[in-house]
Amino acid sequence: MADSIITLSRDAPIGIFDSGIGGLSVLRHVRTLLPDESLLYFADSGFAPYGEKPEAVIVERAVSIAAFLLTQNIKALVVACNTATAAAIAGLRARYPELPVVGVEPGLKPAASLTRSGTIGVLATANTLASEKFLKLQSQVAQDARVTFLLQPCNGLAHQIEKGELSSRETQQLVEHYVTPLVAQHADTLVLGCTHYPFVEQLIREVAGPEVSIVDTGEPVARQLQRLLEQRDLLRQIPATDRLMAYTTGSSSTLSLAFSKLLRLDALVQVVSATHVRH
């Protein structure tokens, strides 16, 4: 059931949320494509990672965060988390039909157009790979393009990235453990099915080798957001002065460091308690 009618303004910020820092890989594309817009990022780091949590918990968090961001008068919502998209995006769109809502999904279609061997590896969380939304997409693309998908749940990898361990020995070992079997089975294209994974793309490339293509869906998400804002005449006309703000249910210093280290950006980060985002 839809909530009460909301009013959208061109000058309002775009809300982007993830279980933690992974959504920054999407935010950087949004910022590049839509440089005049004001962006409001929400990292639910106090509840990260989402990938191994029950679907009902993920849905509750997504609904609560969306409701909180709407109190900040956002004009669009980007669900920059594959797990949350798979679990909750249909419900969010039904609840807020006036609000442009963009999700992320593993880039199976782009991968199918890139592969030469016909074998594609998909690196994602266990929840994403088991979701009805993903399995439906996989079946459709596999049938249409006549390709084979090798599904690899990457337990623990998002958590390592969330801790900022982008090149530690433990992270390298996880990447080797998950990527090597895919390459051994002749996968010539790898799909990064979690928004955290682009931050260890270099490690993945080192294991996979130069002949393997890697698909990241951050840029298509930004383009879809731009299309929706154009369709609804919601693109900002004057560059925003407050271009970037952030909230987290975790550590403000950790998120600030992630902005600085990963994107070379300074962001004003505010800590929000769980009770303030409980729907």
pLDDT, tens digit, for every residue of 191-213? Answer: 999 999 999 999 999 999 999 99
Task: Say which of 58, 81, 99, 277 is annotated catalytic.
Answer: 81
pLDDT, tens digit, for every residue of 147-194? Answer: 999 999 999 999 999 999 999 999 999 999 999 999 999 999 999 999
pLDDT the model gives residue 180: 98
Whole-structure pTM value:
0.92
Which amino acid type is present at position 22? G
- Identify the H or E element spanning 207: helix 201-208
Q: What is the CATH number of domain 14-104+219-277?
A: 3.40.50.1860
Tokens of 199: 């931050």
Q: What is the DSSP string of 26-66?
A: HHHHHHHH-TTS-EEEEE-GGG---TTS-HHHHHHHHHHHH
pLDDT, tens digit, for every residue of 95-122? Answer: 999 999 999 989 999 999 999 999 999 9
Task: Say which of 79, 87, 124, 194 is annotated catalytic.
Answer: 194
CATH topology of domain 108-216: Rossmann fold (3.40.50)
Please name which of 30, 14, 29 lies closest in space to residue 76, comparing C-alpha atoms.
14
Q: How confident is the model at residue 240 (pLDDT cuts 50, 70, 90)?
A: confident
* Segments of the chain assigned to CATH 3.40.50.1860: 14-104+219-277, 108-216
The verdict on whether 154 is a catalytic residue reads no
pLDDT, tens digit, for every residue of 17-74? Answer: 999 999 999 999 999 999 999 999 999 999 888 887 899 999 999 999 999 999 999 9
The verdict on whether 81 is a catalytic residue reads yes
pLDDT, tens digit, for every residue of 6-32? Answer: 889 999 999 999 999 999 999 999 999
pLDDT the model gives residue 274: 66
Number of H helices, E strands in the chain: 11, 10
